[in-house]
Structures are given as C-alpha cells and as structure tokens.
Amino acid sequence: MKNIWIIFKRELRAYFDAPIAYVVITAFLLVTGWFFTTNFFVVAQADLRVIFGIIPFIFLFFTPAITMRLISEERKTGTMELLVTMPISDAAVIVGKYLAALALLSASVLPTIIYAISVAMLGDIDGGAAIAGYLGLIFMGAAYLAIGTFGSSLTDSQVIAFIVSFFLVFVFFLLDKILFILPNWLVTPVEYLSIERHFQNISRGVIDSRDVIYYLSMIGLFLFLAARSLAARRWR
C-alpha cells in the first residue's frame, strides 16, 4: 500500500511538472464549457443532458492522452529497469500510476460541477440523477484509463500507446451503437460489454450493483493485463 502511494505521488507530480495536467484540465474545461454555454444561453435549455452527452465523447480522446506516457515513457528512457529492480511489485507500480491518472481525470471533471450548479439555480434539476451522473462519468473514465494504462504498457512509444488505447476505447464505445447489425443471440452479451450502456443506466439515477461490478471488473481486467505486460520482460 505504501509503495502504491509513493508511485502515485511521483506520477501526479510528474503530471503537474510536465505540465501535462494544466493542458489537460484547461482543454477539457474549454471544450465542455463551450458546449455548455452554447446550450445554456443560446438554446436556453437548463439541463445537464448536454454535459453527460458530450463528456463521454471527449473522454475518448482525453483518456488515452492522459495515460499514454504512464509506462511507455519509462520503458523508453530505461527508468523502468530502475523501478522494477526496487523492492516493489509490478502490480503496485501499475496501480500507483493508474491512480495518478484517475486523480488527474477527476480533477478535470469536478470543476464542471459549476455547470450543474448554474443549471440548478435557474431551472429544475434532479439532484440524485446529477450526482449519479457524475459518479457514472468517473466510473466510465476510470474504465477508459485502465484500458489506456494497458495500452501504454505495450510499447515504448507514446504515439503508439495513444493510438492503441484510443482504438480499444473506441471499440468499447462503439459496442452499443452496432447492436442493430448483430444477430439476436449476440445482442445481450455485447450490450453488457458496452461502456456507454452501463453509463446510461447509472446516469438515469439508478446505481445498480451490476453496473458497478461491470466497471470494477473492466478496471481490474485491464490493470491485470498491464501488470502482465510489464512482467513480459521476463519471457523476452
């Protein structure tokens, strides 16, 4: 546990020193802010649908950008050799780095609560659904980041890490949009795998254990794969 904390601290600092964190947070707020303002003032609609509709789409590009350097950079500069010969498990390295990425994503998403507050002051807002929606966003982002961490563990090139992670994330994003072309027997399992579908369930205000378990298993699976891929140096 202590090791995870040490890695987490170092990674988070690297984000803010780089200064990747400021770029990510600023860009994220500018993009969401633009969508929100146009909807709020121009269309004069006081609800959060636009926020919860657009953020999952922005995540597609942002999460691979946040995770792409996590492991690939250390593989490229060789510091990974220093790190994995310390008395620390591969799993702790992966989890610590992943949590730092999750902290950065949360720091980008949380300021958008301002939009929710503005809406609540002017119109009617379902508080429960809003909170659930934010929880859903974090879960969804967390799953994407786990996929990105895995993508970053595969290569020592950040560009390749970005593209592979984006591709994987995109596949999970698309799953519930291709249901209509699938044979009937495939619809249920594919629908279950879709990240979007579970997000929609949660953002309706119903936090079902099935959706939570889905996200936790996605995170667990991809972090496990990332740890395996880090350990693959052993069979080279």
Closest approach of another protein to the CB of residue 230, in Å: 12
Query: 226 and 94 in contact (C-beta within 8 Å)?
Result: yes
> Interface with another protein includes 6 (CB under 8 A)?
yes
Residue 77 or residue 188: which is nearer to another protein going by CB? 77
179: exposed, middle or buried (Cβ count in 10 Å: 0-12, 13-18, 19+)? middle
Report 60-79 residues binding another protein (CB under 8 A). 77-79
* Residue closer to another protein (CB basis): 6 or 212: 6
Return the residue matching tokens 């600092």: 13
Task: Return the number of the residue (78 or 220) whose C-beta is nearest another protein.
Answer: 78
For position 88 contacting another protein by CB under 8 A, the verdict is yes
Q: Which is nearer to another protein, 4 or 223 (CB)?
A: 4
Contact 50, 36 (CB under 8 A): yes
Distance between CA 180 and CA 194 in Å, rounded?
A: 14
Residue 84 binds another protein (CB under 8 A): yes
Helix axes 49-67 and 127-153, enclosed angle (nearest 10):
20
Q: Residues interacting with another protein, by CB under 8 A?
A: 3, 6, 10, 13-14, 17-18, 77-89, 233-234, 236
